[in-house]
Structure 1
Amino acid sequence: MANFNEDGLKKKLDDLNMSQQSIQTVSLWLIHHKKHAHTVVNVWYRELITATDSRKLTFMYLANDVIQNSKKKGPEYNKEFGSKLGKVFEHLGALRLDEKSLRGLNRLLNVWEDRSVFDADHIKLFKKNLNKGHGKSKENNSRKRELGGKHDNPQSKKRRDSASDAIQPSTPESRLRRDSEGDLTQFAVSPQSSTPPSDPPEPEQLIEAIQELENAATSDALVREKIANLPDEVSDVNLLNKLQDLAAGRALCDQVEEALSMLEAYNKRLAEEMEARKAVARMLHDYIAFQKDLLAQAEETLEEHRQKQGKVKKVREELKAHLQNLPDISKLPSIRMGGLAPLPSAGDLFT
């Protein structure tokens, strides 16, 4: 995975769109780089402020995905976004947002309130700042749509479900978590493919960990040879009967102590190597799982753009055919050169 830098982050935010795949891909990348959460949120805030009104809701949906899917991995993003959201909703409340954006933002706040993403006082302040220029009616209407309940007709429920998909992508697991009344605040954030088993390592970290295994205990041929060449007397109790005098016994005692010290040190190194290999195995598992997820997303993106390419090719073919049927103005007789007869006068037309 590419290393973190602000230019790369700005490029990803510039390419961000409202699609589930786009939001999940960027969210996953941000969660992986959670140690840069402070920088990420500052850049996100600056880009949101300068973004067009139509794209501000997309930035908020990205923040929602990062906040909710990173909760189990640490409080970094919740803390950093929490310090900026007050200013964000003041900014949004000062704009003349369209009804769709305002409804989506209020619904987002309702989800955060129901899931206790932020405390109630902060949510109340966010709602006040957002709706101060729009009145309370839109907020109340948004809340009613959110908590419509069992009296909703099928069409209104369908519209509410589709709005849910924009914030929390629809999957079989998430749909099963919705209750029979269609309350959108009750389904939990599932790990699904957008959240890896653990933070995947950087390639440099993985390479370094593997290289360190080259100096592991099992690769120490010198110590292993010393252990293999230890006399049988230090490990076989039955050979103690062959001791003939006190001097031989003391000599053997020294050999036993030396062998025991060497074995204890070597066994400790072996235990450390075992833990290191387990850690590398976990890193490989997480890295491979993450790459598989990115591969699946890349395949989807490729297929999507192949379809777009096909449409553009079709337009090009139709345009070429259309151009062939248009007259070539350059081949028409020039008026200045007298190639065309003069237009009749008004008198000629009415006589």
Structure 2
Amino acid sequence: MASFSSAALEKRLTELSNSQQSVQTLSLWMMHHRKHSKAAVEVWHQEFQKARTNKRLSMLYVANDVLQNSKRKGAEFDSEFYNILPDVFQHFAREDSDSQGIKAAERVLSIWEERVVFDGKYVEKLRHILRPQSTEIAKTSSSHNEPERKRKRISSPNTGSGVSGPEPTIEELVRCLSDLEQSASGDVVIRKKISELPKEFEDVGSVDSIQSKAEAEKLLKKVDEAVLLLADYNGRLTAELEDRAQGLRKLDELITIHQAELEKTEKELEKCKTKLATTAKVKKELKIHIESLPDLSLLPDVTGGLAPLPAANDLFSSS
């Protein structure tokens, strides 16, 4: 793998596309040169500031891949990206609120929050930079709804001791399943690369057949690249297993919650059916009663054509 230099990274960033393979290849290259993390992130930041929206998205995906997969070997990139990400999200915030860039940035923030790439307060800070008005509204709504959420958590059917964390939402499950569409196990390109690795890499005994130092160093370079490729894929598969387990837990919880809601709705439906039947019966009886009442319109007209009643004087006067 080529040695690190700022010019080499600039060239790779210029050639970066929005394909998964392109993003992962550059991410792998940066992680391989982790000892140059400070310089790498500085170059990344400089190029990001000059890039257009589509390229910025691809660069954000590279940063996301580096941050998630480099943690197993150290936190060099975490501290470097930590310092520049507020400015990065400020660039996205200047775009239209419905733009692809803002939506993609929000999705990355959700992933960082779920997988604890950064602590919650820092993620919330970036979210506030991205959508300041939305986060203020969300905080106000959250404070108003907190007592109701607490009641729901206490009475939730999926609790064993009467206390649990926040209930999962359908949106969270959909997002989790959406993330799994780009899972490591479905990465055909990387799996093909692994399947094409030389057989000597699986045979420790093949080392004894090497006769020259130059040949050994050449093979060592290839082995280093293979180890990096396999270690990265191993980490991604591990993360996928965790994501699938988390998705399964959310699904189980949602099934339990919606089963309880189903039973509650069925009871409400039975009550409503009973009330409907009673009301229909009253309506029927009322119609029968109305039909049994006399039709006042058929009585003779007593309001006109009759002589006026005699006065009191007329009743007692002699004829």
Scaled by the length of structure 2, what TM-score is found?
0.48
* Larger CA Rg, structure 1 vs 2: 2
